[in-house]
A = this chain, B = another copy of it.
C-alpha cells in the first residue's frame, strides 16, 4: 500500500486556431494535462460547432469574440501570415504566448511585426537548446517540424566543433501529410497520395530552410545547408537523414548526442536508425548516427525521427509552456 499527496495548480490557457491538425492536438494535450485547463478554443469557420477532443466536448469560439486575458497563456496555431498579428493582440492584453506558426521564427520574420512587438521579446523555442530563455519569455516562437528534427540532430556536432569548416550539410527529410494541414487540396487527397512518394520544394523552396539557416548562423556555424523535403504516404511523422562532413572520424559515433542530451526527457539516442513507428504520438526526438564507410573524407549519417504534430508542433508547444509556467517540463507529455 502506497500513499501519495498531490497539490495541483490549474492554469488557464487558450488556443487560437484550434480546428487544424496541430490545434486539435494541442486541445487534446491540454484536456489531458494535469495542470492546464482550456479557457477557449477558437476556429472562425467552425464557430459554434462542438468537437470531441480526448473524450471532452469543446465548443469552438470565434476569435474576435474571445476575451484573450481570461487565459494566462495563449497558444496560436493560426496559419502563417495571420498568426503574428494575433500574438501581438495577445501581448497587448498582457498575456504570454506560444506561436506555432512560422511568423515569428528566425528567417521568417513577419514584415511589420517589429513595430508592434519587437523581436527582442521573442524566444525561439527549441526547448532543449534554449531552455533558460524560454523560461522567461513572454513570446515563444515554436520551431517548425523539419527544423526541430534536423537542428536537434546537428547541434551536438556543431557545439563540439566536429563539423568540417565550410562543409555542406545535406539534409533529406520526409513528412507525413498532416504536415501540410487539413485544408482540402486535390494533391492531398487519399487517391493522390497513396502508393506515392515525391520530393517537393527542391532547391530551396521551403520556409523551413530559412529557419534552419538562421539558427545555424546564430550558432556561428561555418556551414552550408541543403534541404530536400519529401511527402510520405503516412498521416504523421518526420524522418530526417542528414549527411555531415566531419573534421575527424568518430570512434564512438553516438557519444556527441549521448553526452549532450543525457538529461533530456524527450531525446532518445538509439543504436539503430529510428523509424516513425518509434516516435508517433510521442513528444520525443529519436536520433541515431553511423559513419559512412569507404569515403576519403569522414562523413557521418545522422537519422532523426519525430512526430510532426507532437515534438514537431503541439507537443513541443506544451513543453515550452510547461517551462514558461514553471511546471514540470514533462507534465502532460508521456515520454
A10 contacts which chain B residues (CB < 8 A)?
A: 2
A276 near B195 with CB under 8 A, answer yes
The A interface, classified by DSSP as helix, strand, loop or mixed, is mixed
Q: Which of A158-173 contact B (CB under 8 A)?
A: 166, 168, 170, 172
**Segment with Cβ contacts to B, from A128-136, A144-152, A182-190, A312-320:** A182-190
A184 near B186 with CB under 8 A, answer yes
A178 near B204 with CB under 8 A, answer no
Q: Which of A1-38 contact B (CB under 8 A)?
A: 1-10, 21
A319 to chain B, nearest CB (A): 16
Residue in B197, B224, B237, B303 whose CB lies within 8 Å of A195: B237
A5 near B4 with CB under 8 A, answer yes
B198 near A195 with CB under 8 A, answer no
A323 contacts which chain B residues (CB < 8 A)?
A: none
Residue in B196, B226, B291, B292 whose CB lies within 8 Å of A276: B196
Q: How far is the CA of A174 from the CA of B183 in the complex (A)?
A: 26
Minimal Cβ-Cβ distance residue in B for A183: B186
A109 lies within 8 A of chain B by Cβ: no
A232 near B235 with CB under 8 A, answer no
A189 near B197 with CB under 8 A, answer no
Q: Which of A108-126 contact B (CB under 8 A)?
A: none
Identical chains in the assembly: 4
Residue in B21, B189, B225, B276 whose CB lies within 8 Å of A182: B189
Minimal Cβ-Cβ distance residue in B for A5: B5
Minimal Cβ-Cβ distance residue in B for A253: B203
A334 contacts which chain B residues (CB < 8 A)?
A: 55
B234 near A233 with CB under 8 A, answer yes
Q: How far is the CA of A8 from the CA of B223 in the complex (A)?
A: 54
A200 contacts which chain B residues (CB < 8 A)?
A: 273
**Segment with Cβ contacts to B, from A60-68, A74-82, A94-102, A293-301:** A293-301
Question: Given contacts A177-B189, A199-B273, A299-B226, are A1 and B6 in contact (CB under 8 A)?
Answer: no
Residue in B191, B228, B276 whose CB lies within 8 Å of A198: B276
Residue in B8, B190, B224, B335 whose CB lies within 8 Å of A177: B190
A274 near B224 with CB under 8 A, answer no
Minimal Cβ-Cβ distance residue in B for A55: B335
A208 to chain B, nearest CB (A): 13
Minimal Cβ-Cβ distance residue in B for A237: B197
A291 contacts which chain B residues (CB < 8 A)?
A: 203
A3 contacts which chain B residues (CB < 8 A)?
A: 5-8
User: 3 nearest interchain CB pairs?
Assistant: A198-B275, A203-B290, A184-B184
Beyond A168-B243, A197-B276: 8 further Cβ-contacts under 8 Å? A3-B6, A4-B8, A5-B6, A172-B241, A190-B190, A194-B235, A197-B275, A198-B273
